[in-house]
Amino acid sequence: MACLYARSGRKCSRTWDMRRLRYALLGLLTIALALGVPHAGASEVSIGTAQVERDAAVVLPVMICNATDLGSIDLELVYNHAVLIVTNVSGGDFDVMVSNLEASAAGHVRIVAFQTASPGISGTAVLAWLALTAVGEAGSTSALTIRVKKLTDATPQCRDLPYSVTNGTFTIKSRSGPTPVLISGYSGAYVLPPASPPPSKRPEPASAKPAPSATATPRISRSPAPSVTSAVLPTAKPLPLQAVPLPRWPVVLIAISIATSAILAGLLGGRRAQ
């Protein structure tokens, strides 16, 4: 059968055109995988970002998004213990949550959670709430790195589920007000006002004022000094939950569709031009 390119003295076949199209699609798929597109059904394990003052505490959740029949998870949070320390872990949406804080001073916290009587979790869930206290200097930063050891579904086979991880950061910012000073002998912290210099006095000549006559000094009754009470510093308010970034795979798939349409249009346009 005569081909569309017969006028130029060349012969072609639909098989060759389809082969070129397959190569183009394969190249686009390779680019998409190189961009790190997560699996369409993968769960995303993430922790937020916080900025607090020194000695202040903040509560951050460990989130699991895009879950499908999630039955259990085992992970470890790693951080710089010179910047922060995890002081408490409370449960989230799982039936059972167990945390190990023995190595929290060394920068490691392990969390295990699983379902018992309830069915598997689908959608978005909170694994645990973590209380983080800033112990470093102002301006120091630590990464909050999540290492997932196991993520399985709620079936009796406990099949592994695909997942992606989004880590967070913890930054200690400078204080916005005066520095609290701890006064020895009292419980609590007190904010001391800055010391003001004493007013300057000009020396007066000796003859400017007559010498005061000697009079009896009245006796002043002294009342007992008021008791000092402890001033309670305002505690840091937990930061609002941050929106977890959505996977990029829908955008890349749309880009692949557009590129495929462009390639097909180019092939058809080349045939018509010949």
pLDDT tens for each residue of 37-50: 444 479 999 999 99
Q: Which CATH number applies to 43-176?
A: 2.60.40.680
Whether 163 and 66 have beta carbons less than 8 Å apart is answered as no
- For residue 18, the model assigns a pLDDT of 61
Domain residue spans of the chain? 6-37+255-273, 43-176
Q: Phi, psi (5° rounding) for residue 143? A: -80, 145
Measure the CA angle with vertex 126, ends 120 and 132; round to 5°.
Answer: 150
Among residues of the chain, what percentage have pLDDT more than 70? 54
Distance CA 157, CA 71 (A): 11
pLDDT tens for each residue of 173-201: 987 655 444 333 333 333 344 444 445 55
Distances (CA, A) of 215 to 208, 220, 221, 222, 235: 21, 15, 18, 21, 56
Distance CA 262, CA 259 (A): 5
- For residue 53, the model assigns a pLDDT of 94
Nearest in space to 66 (alpha carbons), one of 136, 120, 125: 125
Residues of the chain with pLDDT under 70: 1-40, 176-252, 255, 266, 269-274
- For residue 264, the model assigns a pLDDT of 75
- For residue 229, the model assigns a pLDDT of 39
- For residue 194, the model assigns a pLDDT of 44
